Amino acid sequence: MRPWVYALIAALLNTCSETPPLLDQIRERGELRVVTRYSPTTYEIGPEGPQGLEFDLVKGFAEELGVTLVIDTVDAVSEVLPKLLAGEADMAAAGLSVTDSRRDFVDFGHPYATSDMHLVYRLGTGRPRGIADLVGRQIEVVAGSSHADMLASLAAQFPGLEWKETADAEVAELLEKVAKGEIDYTIADSTIFNIQRHFYPELRVALDLRVADPVAWAFPKGSDRLLALADDYLIRARRQGTLAQIEDRYYGHVERFDYVGTRAFIRHYKGRLPQYRKLFEQAGEAYGIDWRLLAAIGYQESHWRPQAVSPTGVRGIMMLTRATAEYLAIEDRVDPASSISGGAQFFAEQLERLPESVPQPDRTWMALAAYNVGFLHLMDARRIVEWQGGDPDSWIDVSETLPLLARERWYSKVDHGYARGWEPVLYVDNIRNYYNIICWLTENEAESEALETLE
């Protein structure tokens, strides 16, 4: 949305009669109304309900205020500030970059994150060396975004620069268009790019248009008391490690990107998984586990190869040890049905063995680590976390102490000795990536099937 539209809305609001301070209104009604975007980096509906970095953060803020959180989602970034300025929300938690044009109409709180602004292209189409190379090329960005503002500022220096602004698509859709060759370039913040590049491994960063953009919550002008409380909450969340835990929950697994490995995974998803998908689905139903997570474990273990054998003697799709197979009464570890069912049972048992105090999704990540390194070694790592004053129920804390099990200074103090503690950390990260890609691929399958039915 253009700045003059914000100005018009603000002018209309200024004609209204004087109202009580916003914080008083929130406490009076017992609700904090928040507008956000439906996006992987902000808010979405997951298997267990609402989730997302913005959702988790603002939920904690509402609890601190002692009020109920009411979420209002919009599909496009251009719809966020109009909702806020029209009084339909008390604040915006939508992954908004702090820009001068937005500051004219809203107040921003303390930045809780930063994001780089990438110009993205498709591998093999020629990487631009500078902005001048963009002249005459197809560029599409989200309307009303900081990306559109950036192009407008660049156009002053490069008069031939042209682009299209779209109000009915989000950045993820524009990245897909670049990957398919439908447009030459788009602009994406590093947070969404780091997620989407796993789905489209051909995408590359051409240029960094801006680095370390501050990201913050937005508030109506004059809501100083509410903004001050939000700032205090976010500063404490950073200092106490709560923000780091939330960031790890959603982004901790996307930092390491393997272009070749991702392309191979998508190829194997199409070529190998169909043979075993039904077995994963049946095992998931039998043990109450998302079959896509079991499939991700299977890929990490064996790349879905039933005859796989490791140098240490573990075998099959789920790479069961001889001792584990005997415990599960499995006679043939390379039989796909037996291996997948056994792996699902063994993983379910790791979930059950963890203390009830461990919440999701940390519970799943710890159970995966136990599947890899052994439950008792995981408990040793949790004990080290306690010694260091951390939270043993937090995966981010446990993941930092697991590698210590390979150091004599630490493994000599715990009950079960040495372990290659860095391996389960990488193991969990890989499975989280594979799981996200499988979810994305299967959801796209469902959409395609629905369209075919309509046709």
Residues with Cβ within 8 Å of residue 304, at least 6 apart in sequence: 268, 272, 273, 275, 276, 295, 298, 317
For residue 191, what are the β-bridge partners? none
Q: DSSP readout, 107-162?
A: EE----EEEEEEEEEETTS---SSGGGGTTS-BEEETTSHHHHHHHHHHTT-TT--
Give the Cα separation of 273 and 279 in Å (integer): 10
The two three-digit tokens of residue 193, written as one number: 């790019």
Q: Which one from 301, 386, 423, 455 is the annotated catalytic residue? A: 301
Residue for token pair 């970095």: 53
Say if CB 367 and CB 350 are below 8 A apart. Answer: yes
Helix axes 362-373, 375-387, angle to 10 degrees: 120
Give the Cα separation of 391 and 370 in Å (integer): 17
Give the Cα separation of 147 and 253 in Å (integer): 26
Burial of residue 273, with CB atoms counted within 10 A of its CB: 0-12 exposed, 13-18 middle, 19 or more buried: middle
Let me know if 301 is a catalytic residue. Answer: yes
Residues with Cβ within 8 Å of residue 342, at least 6 apart in sequence: 318, 320, 324, 325, 328, 330, 333
Give the Cα separation of 439 and 199 in Å (integer): 10
Active site residues: 301
